[in-house]
Structure 1
């Protein structure tokens, strides 16, 4: 099967998805929206992408897969091939949600990252979260990872794995929680903002951290949570996306409703030495399983057009 993949920005989890699909016999050609930084792109970048996507002769492929809502109009511009639309989270919770919702009504099949997204979309769809590369994200002793990074082993280190300037990640809330935890513990706690590092170094940060904190206003199925759990790093989070289901079965992890609960849960997490068992909790999210499910969606979309 030959599939044209349209994407706003090539991210590591997307490239892993393409690699897994190709291992399952799906030949993928990827087109990325031009213009560099996603936040700084002009409307002209998407106009150029529209032209490029048509110049790629999408009718020569068996299917077009639009990854993220802003690529959907380009996928739907050609009427001859079935379209699968994958929504990642912010594309149905932010300013362009109207576009994603409208395009979802026109796509042959729609994929979302969580049941919460499915409920928000209000349309029949497939829930297939982005997967975890279990070979890349695997447990390493915390002390060794801390030594590799030069982190002080006499402190607790809590990971905030996002750009602090992204408003929806709510970095100020994470800072407030860490400040409150520091008032309750004798051992000092540092909030480690990890952003812009090479993806192959991220597992070292995940393993060096004593916990990961997530304070986002909304999420689909946050990859950082899955990657942390695959490294057996505990997660303390607000109740967004599918985090509650992801941490089900993982010790020293919690979903919280407010700052007080976040503070209490993170304090307890840092005081405990109980094994996390996070890797077992995300076992169903291996790359090959995701590829199998996406391949089935592709075949369903093709069959729908042929019916």
Structure 2
């Protein structure tokens, strides 16, 4: 099977891990990304998206079996051609953010719509295939904490809580994470540092995960946050708000906490830090390994092709 991939971010690690796993299953790809650059305070203009339409229409004539549109804003381009079936993968912010109307409008015209959690499907108000992004358990694995702390230079006394996002990403709610960590520090009377880590090579993230005493997720919305699954694969305890599929992923994982209030987040983080134990998350993470989720995506491709034929 030969697939044309449309994306707004050709460097997205979770997408590229999925493509690599699908290639091992015999699928070949051509990737085309929307032109223009993004970054802090910089978004693509409508003109840049419009320029992508003729590129996709021309490329779609090159013998593909289907088109896989990653992220809702690429769906209109995928649907602009009428030959190949379309699989649309929604990432989260294209359901809960400003791009939601485009995702909602385009979804009924796609042969298959893939979401990361059942909650995303309910928000869209339609049946979807739920396939969370898989975690690469060969890349994320337990490392002795002392070894990882030495690697990343975290040598101070006290506790380190990982927040693996830029503070500028408002949806991740860095102020709430900072507030929770400060409250825990006041209660236990020992240094508790919120380690805000972003922009590092993805291969290095495993060391930051293992160096941490816990991962803290305070996002306003999520689909299926990769950081939670990566922490699970490293047996790092997770304290998270109840967003996306977090409660499902952490079901049976101990120690971990899923909460809705600051009070419960603070209590959960304090308990985990004082216990000083690693979790049993790796066993649960195996259920959503990238190999297993890639196999499910291949089944989705086959259904899409059958529906179009």
Q: Same fold (TM over 0.5)?
A: yes
Q: Deviations over 1:32-83 (max 9, x none)?
A: 1121216421112212222221221346200000001000000000011100
Q: Is the 8 A contact 2:237 2:278 kept in 1?
A: no
Residue 271 of structure 1, aligned match among 266, 269, 274: 274
> In the alignment, which residue of structure 2 is the partner of 1:76?
79
Q: Deviations over 1:152-182 (max 9, x none)?
A: 2412000001111111111000010011001
> In the alignment, which residue of structure 1 is the partner of 2:179?
176
Q: Does 1:87 align with 2:90?
A: yes
> In the alignment, which residue of structure 1 is the partner of 2:129?
126
1:173, 1:288 → 2: CA distance?
Answer: 34
Q: Is the 8 A contact 1:4 1:58 kept in 2?
A: no
2:110, 2:239 → 1: CA distance?
Answer: 36
Normalised to the residue count of structure 2, the TM-score between the two structures is 0.97
Q: Provide the alpha-carbon RMSD of the alignment.
A: 1.1
> In the alignment, which residue of structure 2 is the partner of 1:4?
4
Change (3 A) 1:59 1:125: farther
> In the alignment, which residue of structure 2 is the partner of 1:203?
206
Q: Is the 8 A contact 1:59 1:78 kept in 2?
A: no
In structure 2, runs of 5+ residues without a counterpart are none
1:127, 1:300 → 2: CA distance?
Answer: 14
> In the alignment, which residue of structure 1 is the partner of 2:36?
35
Q: Deviations over 1:259-280 (max 9, x none)?
A: 1111010000101133411101
Q: Does 1:18 align with 2:49?
A: no
Q: Where in structure 2 are the equivalents of 1:249-260 lying within 5 Å? A: 249-260=252-263
Partner of 1:40: helix, strand, or coil?
coil
User: Which 4+ runs in 1 deviate beyond 4 A?
Assistant: none
Partner of 1:131: helix, strand, or coil?
coil
Q: In the TM superposition, what is the alpha-carbon distance from 1:124 to its structure 2 partner?
A: 1.2
Q: Does 1:63 align with 2:66?
A: yes
Q: Is the 8 A contact 1:134 1:286 kept in 2?
A: yes
Normalised to the residue count of structure 1, the TM-score between the two structures is 0.97
1:197, 1:243 → 2: CA distance?
Answer: 24
1:9, 1:203 → 2: CA distance?
Answer: 22
Q: Is the 8 A contact 2:5 2:32 kept in 1?
A: yes
Q: Is the 8 A contact 2:214 2:236 kept in 1?
A: yes
In structure 1, runs of 5+ residues without a counterpart are none
Q: Deviations over 1:110-141 (max 9, x none)?
A: 00000111111111110000001111101101
Q: Is the 8 A contact 2:213 2:276 kept in 1?
A: no
1:178, 1:274 → 2: CA distance?
Answer: 18
Count of residue correspondences: 306
> In the alignment, which residue of structure 1 is the partner of 2:194?
191
Q: Is the 8 A contact 1:143 1:153 kept in 2?
A: no
Q: In the TM superposition, what is the alpha-carbon distance from 1:250 to its structure 2 partner?
A: 1.2
Q: Is the 8 A contact 1:236 1:254 kept in 2?
A: yes
1:257, 1:292 → 2: CA distance?
Answer: 34
